[in-house]
A and B are shown apart, each in its own frame.
Chain A
C-alpha cells in the first residue's frame, strides 16, 4: 500500500472515528458505572457490617437486660442508683441503735467523694463516709448494732473499720453505764445516673 488516498477515504475515516468515539464513550461510561457500583458495594458492605454489629450488640444488650434489669431496678429502689438519700441512712442508724438499745450514737457524714477508678470501673460511683461513735455496754453490742443496721439500711454500705476502746480506766462494775466506745467508719455508695439508655 502506498500513500493513502485520503480524498476517497473520508467516509471510512469518519466511520473509524465514529467507532473510536462510540467505543471510547461506551467504555468510559461502563467503566464509570462499574466504579460507581463498586463504591456503592463497599458502602453497602460497611452499612451491612454496621447493622450486623448493631444487631449483635442488641442481642447482647437484650441478654444483659434480661439478666440484670430486675436487680438493677431493686438497687434503684434501694437508693443505690441516683442521688444520695442521707435521711434514709440516718434513719437506719437511729432505728438500729433503738433496736439494740444503744444510747445516743453520734454520727458525722462527710461530703460525697468519687470512688477510686479501680473500684468504680467506669461508673460514676461516689462514696460518702459516715463516722459513727457508739457508747457500748459490752463489746457484743457492736456486732448487734451492725447487724441491725444491715437489716435496716436500704442503701449499699460497707464498714471500712472500727475502733473499740475503753471509756476511762475504772475496773468492771455491774452498772448500766457504757464502759466501752466504738468508733466506726462506714462508706455509703451511690451511683449517679448518667444520660444514655439502651442503643
Chain B
C-alpha cells in the first residue's frame, strides 16, 4: 500500500504506535520511556522499518507564535522563515512554520503560525531509535495540529473554537481560529485538573490569555468543545455555560468514532488513536522536524517514486507487449485460416486440373479455335442461288448476252453480302445508243426486282458521253449494223433473301 504508515504519539512518559492505512488501523501498543520500553519500541519499529513514520508529540514544552510576515516565495521565504524561527525560538531544534492565510488588506502579508518544542530532550531516545533503524520519518507534528484535523472530521468550523481535550490525565487546550490552529497549551497532570471546576478555571484563564494576547477578539464568544474519553469534563459544561462568553458542548465518543470511522470498542480501549487517525491521511502543514531527520524520508520518497515509476514502466511495457503479441496472434490466426482456405482451393483446383485433357493448347484457345471454325464455315455463299438470281433477270431479258460473271465475298463481313460484277452486251444492237441505254436501264430494273439482288449500278456504259472525255466513233450505215456491239458492266450486291 502506498499510504501505509506508522503514526506515533510521543509524550515524555511514553510512546504509542498506530499502524495505519486507509480504512484499516492497528494499535501496536504503548512503550514507556525506559530501557525496556525503548527496546520493545525498537523491536516494533524494526519490524516496520520500511514504513514512513509521522511523530505526533504531546508535551508541555511547546510554544506557538502567530506572525505576520511579508509575502515572499521560494528561497527568500525559506531564508526569512529560518531567520524568524531562530529569532523567536533561539536554539530550539524542533521548530516549524505554517503559512496559514494571506491578509486580504494592506500589503497582503502572509500570516504564519510558528511553533517549537522548547525542551525536547525526552524525545531524543525515541528519535535515535528511529534514526538507527533508518526509519523514514516524514515529520513531527504537535498534537494540537492533529486535533485540528479531528475538528475538521467532526465538521466543527466555528470562528473561535477552544478544544479542551483530556488525554492521559492531562488537559490540552487548543484554540482554532476559522478551523486553523493558533495556540495550544498542555496542563500537566501535576496541576489539579481532575476537578471539573479547575478545568473550567483553566479554560477561563486561557480565554483571558488569548484575549490579552489579542489572539481572540475581546467581544468574541468562545465555542468550547469538551472531549474527554473518561467523561470527567462533563460537569464543566454547566459551569462554563453559565458565563455568556462561552458556548460549551460535549463531544461524545460515539460521534467521534462515527466521524473517524473507528469502532466504538476500539476507540474506548485506545482513545489516543482519535487524533492520530485524524491526521494520518492528511498532508503535514506544520512540521517541526529538522531537515537532517527527514533525510531518510527524502530517500524513501525518491525510492518509492522510482519504484512506482519503474513499476508503471514495466506495467506499460507489459501491457503494450501483450497488446502487440495478442494483435500478432490474431493476425497469425487469420493467416492460418487463409492458408487453410488456400489449401482447400489448391486441392479443389488440383481435382479439376486432373480432369483436364492433355492438350497442346489452352482451353481458351481451344474454345476460340472452335468458334473461329464455326465462323469460317458459317453460311457460305450458295452459288446455285446466286446464279439462279442472276439467271432470273437474264431470262426475262433475252436481248442481254452475258459474257462473264464475277462474284467475291468478304469473309470478315459475310453479312454485308456478295459483290457481283456482270459483263454483258446487247444483242441485237443497231447502233442506237440512246435505245441501248434504255434497254440497259430496263435490265437493271429487272435485276433490282429480284429480291436477293441489291444496289445494281452500271460501271461501264456502251458509250461514254461524259463531256470530260474524248468520244469518237463511226455513224452506222445500212450494211454495218450487225458489226456494232454495245457492251456494259453492272455491279450489284447479292444477299440471300430470307426464306
Contact = CB atoms under 8 A, between A and B. Distances in A.
Contact of A12 (B307, B332, B360, B366): B307
B367 interface: yes
B383 A142 contact: yes
A161 B408 contact: yes
B368 A62 contact: no
B101 interface: no
Interface residues of B, number: 76
Contacts of B348: 55
Interface string B318-352: 10111111011101101100110110011011001
A24 B320 CA distance: 10
A198 B359 contact: yes
SS of A interface (majority): helix
Contacts of B317: 19, 22-24, 26-27
B299 A8 contact: yes
Interface string A50-84: 01101100111110110111011001000011000
B498 interface: no
B392 to A, nearest CB: 13
Given A34-B328, A54-B349, A140-B384, A12 B303 contact: yes
Interface in B336-394: 338-339, 341-342, 345-346, 348-349, 352-353, 355-373, 376-377, 380-384, 387, 391
Given A5-B298, A44-B339, A61-B364, A27 B387 contact: no
B324 A143 contact: no
Interface in A151-192: 156, 158-166, 185, 187, 189, 191
A145 B366 CA distance: 32
Contacts, number: 247
A48 B298 contact: no
A81 B357 CA distance: 16
Contact of A166 (B323, B328, B403): B403
A39 B376 CA distance: 52
Contacts of B381: 159
A166 B359 CA distance: 51
Contact of A48 (B329, B345, B355, B409): B345
B450 interface: no
Contacts of A61: 356, 362-364
Interface residues of A, number: 87
B338 A44 contact: yes
Contacts of B367: 64, 67-68, 72
Interface stretch (A85-93, A103-111, A115-123): A115-123
A80 B369 CA distance: 9
B266 interface: no
Contact of B324 (A27, A60, A120, A191): A27
Contacts of A29: 321
Nearest to A115: B411
Contact of A123 (B314, B365, B407): B365
A167 B405 CA distance: 13
Contact of B406 (A34, A41, A143, A163): A163
Contacts of A185: 408
Contact of B335 (A41, A81, A116, A123): A41
Given A72-B369, A193-B360, A27 B321 contact: yes
B324 A30 contact: yes
Nearest to B381: A159
Contacts of B370: 68, 71-72, 75
B310 interface: yes
A189 to B, nearest CB: 6
B360 A194 contact: yes
B316 interface: yes
A62 B346 contact: no
A38 to B, nearest CB: 6
A140 B373 CA distance: 28
Interface string A1-31: 1101100110011011011101110110111
A38 B407 contact: no
A125 interface: yes
A158 B411 contact: yes
A135 to B, nearest CB: 15
Contacts of A22: 314, 317
A47 B382 CA distance: 55
A114 interface: no
Contacts of B362: 61, 196-199
B408 A12 contact: no
A11 B470 CA distance: 124
15 contacts: A20-B310, A23-B314, A30-B323, A31-B324, A34-B331, A37-B328, A38-B331, A41-B332, A44-B338, A55-B348, A62-B356, A120-B372, A140-B384, A185-B408, A193-B360
Top 8 A-B pairs ranked by shortest CB distance? Answer: A23-B317, A161-B408, A30-B324, A26-B321, A37-B331, A61-B363, A165-B404, A19-B310
Given A37-B328, A163-B405, A197-B361, 13 more contacts: A27-B320, A30-B322, A38-B331, A47-B338, A55-B346, A58-B349, A72-B367, A122-B365, A123-B365, A159-B380, A161-B407, A164-B387, A199-B362
Interface of A: 1-2, 4-5, 8-9, 12-13, 15-16, 18-20, 22-24, 26-27, 29-31, 33-34, 36-38, 40-41, 44-45, 47-48, 51-52, 54-55, 58-62, 64-65, 67-69, 71-72, 75, 80-81, 116, 118-123, 125, 139-140, 142-143, 146-147, 150, 156, 158-166, 185, 187, 189, 191, 193-199
